[in-house]
């Protein structure tokens, strides 16, 4: 068979807790591109790269952790897994459980997850329940069920998830041949912030890098518990993947901020949408709103004079734009974008496009 990327457990077997006894459940996750973003470099004076996690099998970085969590669950004999989710974890858990031939039960906040993600969980035959509460309620219930019934918890409170996710930092280091100066990413439960910090720490320890990046994490203003320093009871933001009021990895994230001279900031929803638009229209990468907070965070920190010229900055964009496309069809004033309708007539269409006959534009 021709050489192809084999998924993170095969590629990094020497650095993960997998052995001959681990049945590797993989959909080929990881190996995502690190894409230079000249438009963002021009806006900030930094050297900006995008780690495009929307290129994973189910369209988000959750697959890196899920391959590990499901493989370990199957190794330990689990027949069923359970998770709480704002959408992407449920899509990923359902897909990997389907591949493994086991059951995935997923608890999502009713009416609060995007259609794309809901359809993925259903397509992969997940046992999807809409809970009449928020994400934090879902996670409490999932933990309770896993403690008292024969189901295996695959939320990021499960360390296997963090272990799988840290491989994204390995990949960044492989491409840059060092750690970046800054790494910016969205923060919900802070599992991914924790995972990257761990990955970079390991890379430094084994001499693959010369430094730790400063880790900058961003939450939406309406659900920014880490920034505010207290639980947010009813978190609100259109960035549904990070609508979390009581992050599961809060303590770990604070330790990682300390260790990396990091930073947590908050960004409002309109600024998130504007950043999503900049990334899709100027860089050519379409992400869901939660992911765009990395771009908004970069622009805000650069504006504040906190990103030196020439600094190497990596932004993780966590999920694909097609998961939650409705926001791209909305203008800043809230009105809907409707494509212009034209008759089947070349001169009319040329006119609408501003084309002049004979001339090369």
Ligand X SMILES: *Cc1c(COP(=O)(O)O)cnc(C)c1O
Q: Which residues bind ligand X (CB under 6 A)?
A: 60, 62, 88, 156, 186-193, 241-242, 288, 290-291, 318-319
Q: Which is nearer to ligand X, 47 or 156 (CB)?
A: 156
> Least distance to ligand X from the beta carbon of 88, Å?
3
> Least distance to ligand X from the beta carbon of 19, Å?
26
Q: Which is nearer to ligand X, 97 or 311 (CB)?
A: 97
Residues 6+ apart with CB under 8 A from 281: none
Q: Which is nearer to ligand X, 25 or 242 (CB)?
A: 242
> Least distance to ligand X from the beta carbon of 351, Å?
41
> Least distance to ligand X from the beta carbon of 304, Å?
23
Q: Which is nearer to ligand X, 48 or 241 (CB)?
A: 241
Strands 127-131 and 152-153: unpaired
| Contact predicate 246/231, CB 8 Å | yes
What is the Cα–Cα distance from 65 to 164, expressed in whole angstroms? 4
> Least distance to ligand X from the beta carbon of 92, Å?
9
Q: Which is nearer to ligand X, 94 or 311 (CB)?
A: 94
Q: Which residue is nearest to ligand X (CB)?
A: 319
> Least distance to ligand X from the beta carbon of 340, Å?
32
The secondary structure of 60-122 as a DSSP string is BTHHHHHHHHHHHHHHTT-SEEEEE-SSHHHHHHHHHHHHHT-EEEEEEETT-S-HHHHHHHH
For 200-238, what is the HEC assignment? HHHHHHCCCCCCCCEEEEEEEHHHCHHHHCCCCCCCCCC
Q: Which is nearer to ligand X, 232 or 311 (CB)?
A: 232
Q: Which is nearer to ligand X, 197 or 311 (CB)?
A: 197
> Least distance to ligand X from the beta carbon of 320, Å?
8
Please give the sequence-ordered ranges of beta strands (E in DSSP) within 22-74, or none if there are none. 34-36, 47-52
| Contact predicate 29/56, CB 8 Å | yes
Rounded to 10 degrees, what is the CA torsion of 190, 210, 53, 45?
100
Q: Which is nearer to ligand X, 162 or 311 (CB)?
A: 162
Question: Is residue 113 exposed (0-12), middle (13-18) or buried (19+ Cβ within 10 Å)?
Answer: buried
What is the Cα–Cα distance from 140 to 137, expressed in whole angstroms? 5
> Least distance to ligand X from the beta carbon of 59, Å?
9
> Least distance to ligand X from the beta carbon of 165, Å?
7
What is the Cα–Cα distance from 12 to 19, expressed in whole angstroms? 12
| Contact predicate 24/43, CB 8 Å | no
| Contact predicate 90/111, CB 8 Å | no
């Amino acid at each position: 068979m021709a050489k192809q990327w084999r998924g993170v457990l095969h590629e990094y077997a020497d650095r993960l807790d997998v052995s001959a006894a681990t049945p590797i459940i993989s959909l080929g996750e990881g190996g995502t591109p690190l894409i230079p973003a000249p438009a963002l470099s021009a806006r900030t004076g930094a050297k900006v790269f995008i780690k495009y996690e929307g290129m994973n099998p189910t369209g988000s970085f959750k697959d890196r952790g899920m391959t590990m969590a499901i493989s370990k669950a199957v190794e330990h004999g689990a027949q069923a897994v359970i998770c709480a989710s704002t959408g992407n974890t449920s899509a990923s858990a359902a897909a990997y459980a389907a591949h493994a031939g086991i059951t995935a039960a997923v608890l999502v906040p009713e009416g609060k997850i995007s259609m794309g993600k809901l359809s993925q969980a259903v397509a992969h035959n997940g046992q999807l329940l809409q809970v009449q509460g928020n994400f934090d309620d879902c996670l409490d219930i999932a933990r309770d069920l896993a403690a008292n019934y024969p189901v295996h918890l695959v939320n990021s409170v499960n360390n296997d998830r963090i272990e799988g996710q840290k491989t994204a930092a390995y990949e960044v280091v492989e491409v840059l041949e060092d750690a970046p100066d800054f790494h910016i990413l969205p923060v919900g439960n802070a599992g991914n912030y924790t995972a990257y910090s761990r990955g970079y720490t390991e890379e430094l320890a084994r001499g693959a890098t010369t430094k730790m990046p400063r880790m900058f994490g961003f939450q939406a203003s309406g659900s920014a518990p880490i920034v505010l320093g207290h639980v947010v009871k009813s978190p609100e933001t259109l960035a549904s993947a990070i609508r979390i009021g009581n992050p599961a990895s809060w303590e770990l994230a604070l330790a990682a901020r300390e260790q990396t001279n990091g930073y947590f900031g908050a960004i409002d929803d309109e600024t998130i949408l504007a950043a999503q638009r900049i990334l899709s229209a100027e860089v050519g990468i379409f992400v869901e709103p939660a992911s765009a907070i990395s771009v908004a965070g970069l622009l805000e920190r650069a504006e504040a004079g906190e990103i030196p010229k020439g600094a190497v900055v990596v932004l993780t964009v966590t999920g694909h734009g097609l998961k939650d496309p409705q926001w791209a069809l909305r203008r800043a004033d809230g009105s809907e974008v409707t494509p212009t309708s034209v008759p089947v007539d070349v001169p009319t269409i040329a006119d609408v496009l501003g084309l002049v006959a004979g001339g090369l534009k």
